[in-house]
Chain A
């Protein structure tokens, strides 16, 4: 029954996505042309990358709010090392390592100390961003190699190179979540951690590596972000964590864990990107833009639970009956 509801939800997102695209193509000037589609796709790259691993983390009934700060820290390290004269080919793996370390810090605090990931990653959210400012201050490092800044904005036909990267990693993430033993274990432990542990699932190990993977993904997103804007700053990607979580929840992943699919999340990333793009083209004010995004998020969290709330209201509880 739940499974069917998930499918229905994804069907709904798909219909919504197609509907918004049709409406925007007909009603919004400049939406349906190659360069806009290309820009739209490119603009969702960082959110999409981070949403891939965030999906696994939230299905495992955890959350990582520090992703955008990890991205910022990775940007700062990139700028600092570039200023120090290292080659970009040396810097990139170091950035990925920084991301992995950030994820490992989150993972250790959650699994070894048993702290709730919400609290841990609110802490590291401030910690990593703060560290980014310590490293780079408020300067912008802009003289990055054109080979890379060019590649980050290049397209094959209307499809940006960055989108190809997203597509490849999306396939990997989807296979891991939906077709491997680890994926099976992630669903199980997100739904009932105790039962998963009693079945021999290495709960802590899996959670730890999910956080590490999320950190690596955030630093990969930082590379795309830095090259795309040709600017490494400590405040890069400020606030993106909310967009990532919004996309994952809108995509049908349960905030309580144990439910969700990757295709659903990818469609939700696109839906949010399209809505944003179309509203910008239609000259809608930025404040309204945020309002619409927020509305979609609230709706996505609310909708799957409305049915349950309704049932609870209409059927009296056992205690209610016996006391009457």
Chain B
């Protein structure tokens, strides 16, 4: 390919505060190619998409359009340049028809206003080019996600888009729908569009794409011709980093079963999930974002209903859909979204810690402020919380200290099963190590720990066993010895069942 790329990035970097999201990444999109962008969660794929679509401006490096440097001041500029993004879940106007969505703000006009006949013809023409059948007059409400994506693609075509970015378009599609989408993508490629395709499913990249660029931890790794590499090569490029000694898990003898999940199913979300966690064990639940890990945790803790299956804590069956019952049985959940689910940000440190244990700080019918404060102060010391006053609202604390407050809230209850969902997301390295040590100590003291994590080093360093989920099902259960970056990623991307 010696022709000029239609759109390319040259040595682009972008940081958010102290986090360097992407570092010196280069990427070339040629007309008539489908280019895959590969990388683990957090490798910087979304940031690249946002830079290409004008949402973020790079701190350094250049964007080249037809070989000429350009600057996108906003998404409008990128659109003008012919860049369109198709998201996993498109956002159409539900009450407008398909064609009105396509031509929103650019309706063909006649002397008497909007020319609906011309609009209908133009929409039909676009669908004919894509080789799909959709009724231009149908309202967008009730369209399947796959059809909504097609409407978005038609909209992009009507704007004469030359670069189409598809950000995990297949995540919510069925097999037939994926095949149809790939057909459309191939058509577009043959018509000279450049496509950037992002997916967690390796087999899709190998089926559809011609080249692949891999990112790891925000840095550029390699660009390969798909024909030249194997899926194993690609996985190695995605994960190949050294394990550090940050994650010490003490060896503990596993005790009796504390949490037993049997064939748990929530329709359309996860299916037939069975596993056990013993006292003294840390079991990791690995998998890609969207594999259904957090949803399983939510169901176990009673936030969501389950449709079939059972959950037992210490041999007692749990009533479904009741966090209170789960808590009474000895379960605790440190949720994924700290700010929205873990804490009441406006409330003080002591009230947040007390919230999950109101019964414990009661004297008669009244809450004892002294007991509430003692409980908070006690756990603040144990977890080395950095704070000014316990009466301060938690929103003044750093992310790491906020996470400690959430942990304190649950540990103060003395749970027998602790579920932690992304326990170290967005917290600094020092606090991360403290959290890891704490989880290790808890397991040592006989707590059963179920840890959901998207960070492979954390999973491999901490877990006695690794459960891997893929598309709502348990794809593999790996012992500490069997679990490697390659084996976990292989199961998470659905390539093999170990």
List residues of A whose CB falls within 8 A of some B CB. Answer: 1-3, 175, 179-181, 183-185, 187-188, 191-192, 194-202, 258-259, 322-323
The main secondary structure of chain A at its interface with chain B is helix
State which of B135-143, B267-275, B350-358, B374-382 sits at the interface with chain A: B350-358
Q: Is B366 among interface residues, defined by CB-CB distance under 8 A?
A: yes
Set of chain B residues within 8 Å of A179, measured between Cβ atoms? 366-367
Docked CA distance A276–B272 (Å): 67
Would B333 and A198 count as touching, CB distance under 8 A? yes
| B367: contacting residue among A1, A3, A180, A202, CB under 8 A | A180
Q: Is B489 among interface residues, defined by CB-CB distance under 8 A?
A: no
Q: Lowest 8 CB-CB distances: which A-B pairs, in order?
A: A181-B358, A199-B356, A192-B344, A199-B355, A200-B327, A198-B341, A191-B346, A191-B344
Given A191-B344, A195-B340, decide whether A184 and B303 contact each other with a Cβ distance below 8 A. no
Docked CA distance A132–B365 (Å): 38
Set of chain A residues within 8 Å of B340, measured between Cβ atoms? 192, 194-195
Minimum CB–CB distance from A194 to chain B (whole Å) comes to: 5
Given A184-B355, A198-B342, A322-B57, decide whether A3 and B391 contact each other with a Cβ distance below 8 A. yes
Set of chain A residues within 8 Å of B358, measured between Cβ atoms? 181, 184-185
The contact string, 1 if C-beta is below 8 Å from chain A, for chain B 302-332, is: 0100000000000000000001100100000
Set of chain B residues within 8 Å of A181, measured between Cβ atoms? 358-359, 362, 367
Q: Is B451 among interface residues, defined by CB-CB distance under 8 A?
A: no
Question: Size range of the interface on B?
Answer: 20 to 34
Nearest residue (CB) in A for B73 is: A323
Minimum CB–CB distance from B69 to chain A (whole Å) comes to: 18
Minimum CB–CB distance from A214 to chain B (whole Å) comes to: 21
Docked CA distance A188–B393 (Å): 12
Nearest residue (CB) in B for A324 is: B73
Would B351 and A184 count as touching, CB distance under 8 A? yes
Minimum CB–CB distance from B139 to chain A (whole Å) comes to: 25
Docked CA distance A323–B56 (Å): 9
Set of chain B residues within 8 Å of A200, measured between Cβ atoms? 323-324, 327, 356
Given contacts A181-B362, A198-B323, 4 further A-B contacts (CB under 8 A): A179-B367, A192-B340, A194-B340, A197-B323
Would B365 and A180 count as touching, CB distance under 8 A? yes
Docked CA distance A201–B346 (Å): 17
Would A180 and B393 count as touching, CB distance under 8 A? no
Docked CA distance A200–B325 (Å): 9
Q: Is B131 among interface residues, defined by CB-CB distance under 8 A?
A: no
Minimum CB–CB distance from A180 to chain B (whole Å) comes to: 6
Would B74 and A195 count as touching, CB distance under 8 A? no
Set of chain B residues within 8 Å of A2, measured between Cβ atoms? 346, 393
Report 9 cross-chain contacts, Cβ distance below 8 Å, ordered by A residue.
A3-B391, A180-B366, A181-B359, A185-B355, A187-B344, A197-B323, A198-B342, A200-B356, A322-B57
Would A198 and B303 count as touching, CB distance under 8 A? yes
Would B347 and A323 count as touching, CB distance under 8 A? no
Most B CB within 10 A of own CB, among A2, A191, A195, A196: A195
Would B393 and A1 count as touching, CB distance under 8 A? yes
Set of chain B residues within 8 Å of A323, measured between Cβ atoms? 57, 73-74
Would A195 and B344 count as touching, CB distance under 8 A? yes
Docked CA distance A3–B301 (Å): 32
Q: Is B343 among interface residues, defined by CB-CB distance under 8 A?
A: yes
Minimum CB–CB distance from B61 to chain A (whole Å) comes to: 15
Set of chain A residues within 8 Å of B323, measured between Cβ atoms? 197-200
Set of chain B residues within 8 Å of A183, measured between Cβ atoms? 367
Nearest residue (CB) in B for A181 is: B358
Set of chain A residues within 8 Å of B366, measured between Cβ atoms? 175, 179-180
| A322: contacting residue among B56, B342, B351, CB under 8 A | B56
Given A2-B393, A194-B341, A195-B341, decide whether A201 and B355 contact each other with a Cβ distance below 8 A. yes
Nearest residue (CB) in B for A254 is: B346
Would B303 and A197 count as touching, CB distance under 8 A? yes
Set of chain A residues within 8 Å of B396, measured between Cβ atoms? 1
Set of chain B residues within 8 Å of A1, measured between Cβ atoms? 393, 396
Set of chain A residues within 8 Å of B56, measured between Cβ atoms? 322
Set of chain B residues within 8 Å of A194, measured between Cβ atoms? 340-341
Minimum CB–CB distance from B333 to chain A (whole Å) comes to: 7
Docked CA distance A171–B362 (Å): 19
Set of chain A residues within 8 Å of B301, measured between Cβ atoms? 198
Given A2-B393, A3-B393, decide whether A188 and B344 contact each other with a Cβ distance below 8 A. yes
Nearest residue (CB) in B for A202 is: B324
